Structure 1
């Protein structure tokens, strides 16, 4: 497992950049587009972008799986779960990431399964951006 760690790390970082970059652009830039342009143009822009972003759930899944693979090196039954500050930060990061995953599952269930708008549709991206920034900060602090 240790020999695969660099591959998991690169995969994890690339998926994090893609995922959080998309969320950042949606929350920061597309909200400005909606405020400045009429709804018709804003909806067209949003539709164009959303057709390109259908792989985001898969990107998040790879992000979660690669993170879990790396986590298993630092947090496990042999070395403990909360013994060091590193382990504590990594466990908190994992819980926050699983929270994002739960919101994604709810949204996808509503969209594909129930064919209804998700009750989280207005808040999921701002919450995900906030949690994502906090996760990145915890990642940097964990290894400091």
Structure 2
């Protein structure tokens, strides 16, 4: 018998979302986005930063609490950012949800990345350094 997918509780723009990324939900999201979940984060050249709308769709479709409509997600995102959060916080929330669902698999030593996907942590760090260097140039 497989691992039971756990719920991840996320406070998002004044609403409490209960996220479950099981196989059925992942397939629905991939069909809706017309790309694999991995393609949200990786492309042929390395790290890919998904669009805000893609992340919002993942949150909305993974949410098990009733009453949160897709049309509300942009307003909730505005409130989320207004509360001091950022795109990178949202990115990390979605990435952690996928990680907890076992999407990225497990490495033998996760201590260096606090349980986050080592590939994404490394790629994100490199990307942030490059962007910082570019802005100084």
TM-score past 0.5 threshold: no
Task: Select the structure that is richer in strand.
Answer: 2
TM-score normalised by the chain length of structure 2 = 0.29
TM-score, reference length from structure 1: 0.28
Structure with the larger RCO, 1 or 2 (CA within 8 Å, 6+ apart)? 1
